[in-house]
Structure 1
Amino acid sequence: MMSKTLTYPHIFDELKAQIKDAGLLDRVPVRGSIEMIAIIVSLIIALTTAPLWHPVLLALFLTLLFTRSVFVSHDILHTQYFKSKSLSKKLSYPFSALILSNSSSWWDFKHNVRHHTYCNIIEKDEDIRALDGAFTHQKGNKPFLKKHKYIIFWGALFFMFPAFIGQSYKYVIKHKHWGELGLMLLHWPLIWGTLLYQIGFSNTLLVALVMNFVLSPWLAFGFITNHLGCETFSEEEAKDFSWMELQMRGSRSLKGGMLVHWFYGGLNTQIEHHLFPKAPRFNLLKVQKMTKDFAQKYDIPYFETTPLMAYVQINNAIKKY
């Protein structure tokens, strides 16, 4: 292990140069555009042919499209497809708002600005303060949460998507992003109004319920493996770390090949994503191999485990609350 954190920036420059020279930081505008267009076309086909589907199958297909849309929106805002931040925002805002009724401005601030800049810093990164700080060394002391901590934490994962939507609306209204709010509101007649017209109320309700209870845990069980149960730091403690060390110590990558990578939307390579947030998702498995080799060369700790063990580690952290 490196004994002086001051050497980390110089080491990171070496790794970054290797990744860049391999072409793994190059944007993928064509591939990204194809993915976006494929989602939009598939969604239009699903909505226009809705009466031909069994409601449960339709819900599962829409869940697949919504999940991919979440990952695509995330990637666009990281400028993984296009170098221009302005263009990325112009594409992400309507894409996310119309398909998901989700706010890109909220996600950009919460995720790109706060989380990536202050990874696992307790006072700054709200993602790590879940369950009254149960995953930090600044735990709260709420009797009700302590008594029902397992039900509350694991149960809440089945409602993550509507919670995200609620936070989106709260953010855009608070910051008076009326244009984005208008796009988000259009989601309801475009998606759900069409379904209501096509398949009626009871089938639309069934689609909505199935979607939520598949989509929410799919996203949630992916997101929680990224940092929960990893090291956390106070602002004062974080001052002693270089940016590279902070990202690597506060993140967890998951073992697995292409199937795991697809299921988690590339977030399984969380260490690599935090070190190189602009690296396209399609390249992250290659980036991971180079990063692991680099970490081994310099004896830098690399936190990686299986998906199952990640959930065990998270549950063990909850036990300590």
Structure 2
Amino acid sequence: MSTKLKFSATGRSPFFATLRERVDAYFAGKALSPHANGAMWAKAVFFLAGYVLLYALLISGQFGVWPMLGFAIGLGVFAACIGFNVSHDALHGAFSAIPWVNKWLGNTFYLLGANPYVWKITHNVVHHTYTNIPGHDEDIEVAPGLVRLSTEEPLRPWHRYQHLYTFPLYTLASLSWVFRKDYVKFFKRQIGQHKPAAHPRREYINLFMGKALYYLFFLVLPYLLLDVAWWQVLIGFMGMQLAEGLVLGLVFQLAHVVEGTSFPLPHESGTMQDAWAIHQLRTTANFAPRSRLAAFVCGGLNRQIEHHLFPKVCHIHYPALTAIVRNTAREFNLPYLENRSFWTAIASHFRVLHTMGRPA
């Protein structure tokens, strides 16, 4: 496989040029900024304040072990929501037109135990460019060798049961991120087929300092300040991580690994069949697009099509863009993949796992 991929120029201008023109006209006609509005700032404050409150209640030592376990699980859910609603937009430069605001809000990623610098490479650069391309997009990999998502991967006997064991694996996503993923990605010579430039020295400091502070706040301080045994601290920490991992894992997989999404390969020349924007339509799906709850909790990631086409537009605007994107795609006879609800998306993902676990 060629390591230098190119997207076809065929059809690039008509579809995406038309779509961009219509989206730009929407913002101009409404006199709106594509960045955060008051509702978006309110969401950010809600999730950040909730996270701080839950941690304060947990570390206060004024509650029994069961309420503290509940606070820990709630922390995991709020951490995932901060990642979806605050960090993700900021790291894409979509939250604000002011770079330093995006930088500071992007640093909320440390609250998840994750590194924003590594994320910008693996997600912003690699995933958004090479979406669902086997051997290039590592974001879709759950557990290489253990979970098969593409016909290009070898079929193993245990894959027959992957529709049963993959969902529990998602609960480990956050644990992997906190203790393994960032370190591995940071020190890899290449991610997928992308070779990052040499990391600045400050990013080495940020990586290890960010991780150390996370371990301090969520493992060391609870043990020192609370009247609980070390194993109870670990149970609370695991409850937090498993809840966070399940939310993170499910939301990201439901956007790219459902029925209808493709895993295209380049030609021998290294050229993809479609233009980049059309490639995004074929590899990405929305779920629960009419659900206000999904939009509020998932930070617009339930409208992944709009996000992939316009990653620098704040997700608070995606509901208004949905009709524009859908109608333009249909006008050009292009796919626009949707699952009507969260549960239909879950069922579709389950069927993909089941199908990929068996011979064609």
TM-score, normalized by length of structure 1? Answer: 0.86
The one-letter code sitting in structure 2 at the alignment partner of 1:92 is: G
TM-superposed CA distance for 1:146, in Å, is 2.5
Match of 2:284 in 1: 251
User: Helix, strand or coil for the counterpart of 1:235?
Assistant: coil
Match of 2:205 in 1: 179
TM-superposed CA distance for 1:273, in Å, is 0.7
Conserved 8 A contact 2:81-2:298: no
Q: 1:225-270 CA distances to partner (integer Å, 9 max, x unpaired)?
A: 1111311111228522111110000101113321122233311101
Match of 1:21 in 2: 25
The one-letter code sitting in structure 2 at the alignment partner of 1:289 is: A
User: Helix, strand or coil for the counterpart of 1:102?
Assistant: coil
Give the root-mean-square deviation of aligned CA atoms.
2.8
Q: 1:52-100 CA distances to partner (integer Å, 9 max, x unpaired)?
A: 452133124312321222112111111111235565335423x222x12
Structure 2 CA distance, aligned partners of 1:89 and 1:278? Answer: 14
Which residue of the other structure, out of 118, 129, 140, is the alignment partner of 1:106?
A: 118
5 Å matches for 1:1-321?
6-23=10-27, 26-28=34-36, 35-50=43-58, 51-53=61-63, 54-71=67-84, 72-84=86-98, 88-93=102-107, 95-97=108-110, 99-130=111-142, 131-132=144-145, 134-143=148-157, 145-165=158-178, 166-172=180-186, 177-180=203-206, 181-196=208-223, 197-198=225-226, 200-201=228-229, 203-229=232-258, 230-236=261-267, 239-255=272-288, 256-306=290-340, 307-318=342-353, 319-321=355-357
User: Helix, strand or coil for the counterpart of 1:22?
Assistant: helix
Structure 2 unaligned segments of length 5 or more: list them. 1-7, 189-198
TM-superposed CA distance for 1:283, in Å, is 1.0
Structure 1 unaligned segments of length 5 or more: list them. none
- In structure 2, relative to structure 1, the CA distance for the partners of 1:113 and 1:217 (3 Å cut) is same
Conserved 8 A contact 1:114-1:124: yes
The one-letter code sitting in structure 2 at the alignment partner of 1:200 is: V
- In structure 2, relative to structure 1, the CA distance for the partners of 1:262 and 1:87 (3 Å cut) is closer
Structure 2 CA distance, aligned partners of 1:118 and 1:86? Answer: 28
Of residues 155-164 and 37-46 in structure 1, the stretch that sits farther from structure 2 once superposed is 37-46
User: Helix, strand or coil for the counterpart of 1:259?
Assistant: helix
Q: Percent identity?
A: 19
The one-letter code sitting in structure 1 at the alignment partner of 2:308 is: H
Conserved 8 A contact 1:25-1:278: no
Structure 1 CA distance, aligned partners of 2:275 and 2:53? Answer: 49
The one-letter code sitting in structure 2 at the alignment partner of 1:135 is: L
User: Helix, strand or coil for the counterpart of 1:154?
Assistant: helix
Structure 1 CA distance, aligned partners of 2:129 and 2:105? Answer: 23
TM-superposed CA distance for 1:198, in Å, is 3.7
- In structure 2, relative to structure 1, the CA distance for the partners of 1:263 and 1:90 (3 Å cut) is closer
TM-superposed CA distance for 1:203, in Å, is 4.9
Structure 1 CA distance, aligned partners of 2:314 and 2:177? Answer: 24
Structure 2 CA distance, aligned partners of 1:31 and 1:199? Answer: 40
- In structure 2, relative to structure 1, the CA distance for the partners of 1:33 and 1:190 (3 Å cut) is farther
Number of positions where the alignment pairs a residue of Structure 1 with one of Structure 2: 315
User: Helix, strand or coil for the counterpart of 2:238?
Assistant: helix
Structure 2 CA distance, aligned partners of 1:193 and 1:267? Answer: 33
TM-superposed CA distance for 1:16, in Å, is 1.3
Q: 1:174-224 CA distances to partner (integer Å, 9 max, x unpaired)?
A: 656322121221122234434331453455334323222322211211111
The one-letter code sitting in structure 2 at the alignment partner of 1:295 is: A
Structure 1 CA distance, aligned partners of 2:227 and 2:318? Answer: 40
User: Helix, strand or coil for the counterpart of 2:299?
Assistant: coil
Of residues 276-285 and 193-202 in structure 1, the stretch that sits farther from structure 2 once superposed is 193-202
TM-superposed CA distance for 1:40, in Å, is 4.2
Conserved 8 A contact 2:281-2:334: no
Considering fraction of residues, name the structure with more helix.
1
